[in-house]
Structure 1
Amino acid sequence: MRLGLLADIHGDGIGFQRALDWFASQATDHILCAGDVVDRGPDADAIVQELIKRAIPCIKGNHEFTLLREHSRWSQSSQRERLASRGRIVTQATLEYVAALPTSLRLQFDDQRLVLAHGAPWSDVVDMLPEARSSKWQRLLNEHPHDQIIVLGHTHRPMHVRCGHLRVLNPGSVYGVTIRDSHSCAIYDTISASLTLYDLKTQQTRLCPVVEAESRPRDHI
């Protein structure tokens, strides 16, 4: 099973289309999106229509919550044109789509149980990074005893962490404007347990190295 992974698109229609084209060329079986579809780039409406058309599972990220909270105020702003160019004013159809998104999803592909979330399964704003404190990784293990794969976004940083029985994956951000953004997507192969990253600017691929999580508190010296 080959899973195409997207996160943090942020209205970047060009990057999004490049990711879809790569997934098609690699014969991916499913595509998943770990949130932050909207805000920053101007193409959220077109991206949402494509997500709907392709029935791509997606969840809310923190920028979806921001859009829902602020859209009415932004729409009445004297800076409407500038805000629209930053993806902060969208159509009613996009608003309804975003409002209906879950905060996390549990999916199953063959014998693989997968959880799709944004920052962490318990919060859209938590940063899960390989160097995160051990209590975060232990919480993942404790709360997901029967899952095999966790797909996250939020950090804009690709990662492949092995944490006990879990593989915790982040494809990085489709959005690629600032130095923080990875401008990437990824394919996870469930047979080889490998995460292949695709650079949306250079169109080069590379394997994401596997990092072991520290899920137990270190002894104090």
Structure 2
Amino acid sequence: MKLALFSDIHANLPALEAVLADIDRRSPDGIYCLGDLVGYNIWPNEVINIIRSRGIPCIAGNYDYGIGRGSDDCGCAYREEAEKAMGKQSIAYTNQAVGDAERAYLRTLPTRIRLEFELDNTPEQLWQQQPPFTLMLAHGSPRKVNEYLFADRSDQSLGRMLEAAGADMLYIGHTHKPYHKVIETTVADQPSYTRHVINIGSVGKPKDGDPRAGYVLLTIEEGARPGLARPGSADDVRVEFVRVAYDVERAARAIEDSVLPNSYADMLRQAR
């Protein structure tokens, strides 16, 4: 089983087109989007309609949640007054640009998707309710759509969150900075139960210094078992961070030719 997961497109049509072309070339068994389709660029409707037309399961990002309800609050954690002022321009522009049908679609998006895999089990094992291998897909965290889970969050805190969510692997976006953390927790009589937190980065607005669009390719082998997967090995679960070059200048110039702040164009070029 091979799954492609991406997030945080933020109305960047050239980046989305490049990522989907790369995903199509790899022919995964499933594709999932972790939200924030809109904001910060000029193509919110085009991005929404590509996701809809392809039937890609998608959850709501904080920006989607706000724009879907016509709010002037995207749930973004702007730290400085200049950022807040720029953010208001982006929210106002997006609210004006998004069509009625596209806004209605944003309101239908769930805040989480839970995937459970019963792999390599006999019927008898299934009937005995053997634990499934569970993936939780969220935008910010399982608790809040706009909660930031940065890589420096403590293992203890993440472990509690994973256990509360009942997830072996948690896939998130929102920070625009990809990482993979392995969390060792204790469950019942298993002293070392391995869980994973994977931030899949951003398609349309990376902030890790690499301007290329990013997504994750997840491979789950038939013998995958809860608590056993290790990253970066030939084990039963593999996580690959994929970067895709796209026409950054086209996306940056589109911002500069609009009423959006030019700083957003510089952020695309510098991936900050």
Q: Tell me the distance in 1 between the aligned counterparts of 2:9 and 2:179.
A: 17
Q: CA deviation at 1:187?
A: 0.7
AA aligned to 1:199 is R
Q: Tell me the distance in 2 between the aligned counterparts of 1:24 and 1:50.
A: 14
- Residue 100 of structure 2 corresponds to 92
User: TM-score under structure 1 normalisation?
Assistant: 0.76
Identity of aligned residues (%): 26
Count of residues paired in the alignment: 194
Q: CA deviation at 1:96?
A: 0.7
Q: CA deviation at 1:202?
A: 6.9
The gaps in structure 1 that reach 5 residues or longer are 74-81, 204-221
AA aligned to 1:36 is D
Q: Tell me the distance in 2 between the aligned counterparts of 1:199 and 1:104.
A: 25
- 1:11, 1:87 within 8 Å by CA — same for their partners in 2? no
2:150 to 129, 147, 165: 129
Identify which range, 177-186 or 17-26, moves more after superposition.
177-186
User: TM-score under structure 2 normalisation?
Assistant: 0.63
Identify which range, 136-145 or 94-103, moves more after superposition.
136-145
- 1:5, 1:33 within 8 Å by CA — same for their partners in 2? yes
- Residue 197 of structure 1 corresponds to 241
- 1:2, 1:190 within 8 Å by CA — same for their partners in 2? yes
- Residue 56 of structure 1 corresponds to 56
- 1:62, 1:124 within 8 Å by CA — same for their partners in 2? yes
- Residue 217 of structure 2 corresponds to 187
Q: Tell me the distance in 2 between the aligned counterparts of 1:138 and 1:167.
A: 9
Change in CA separation of 1:54 and 1:199 when aligned onto 2, cut-off 3 Å:
same
- 1:171, 1:197 within 8 Å by CA — same for their partners in 2? yes
**Is 1:103–2:123 an aligned residue pair?**
no
For the pair shown, the structure with the greater C-alpha radius of gyration is 2
AA aligned to 1:197 is F
- Residue 6 of structure 1 corresponds to 6
Higher helix share: 2
Give SS of 1:97's match. helix
Change in CA separation of 1:142 and 1:179 when aligned onto 2, cut-off 3 Å:
closer
Q: Tell me the distance in 2 between the aligned counterparts of 1:84 and 1:130.
A: 27
Q: CA deviation at 1:44?
A: 1.8
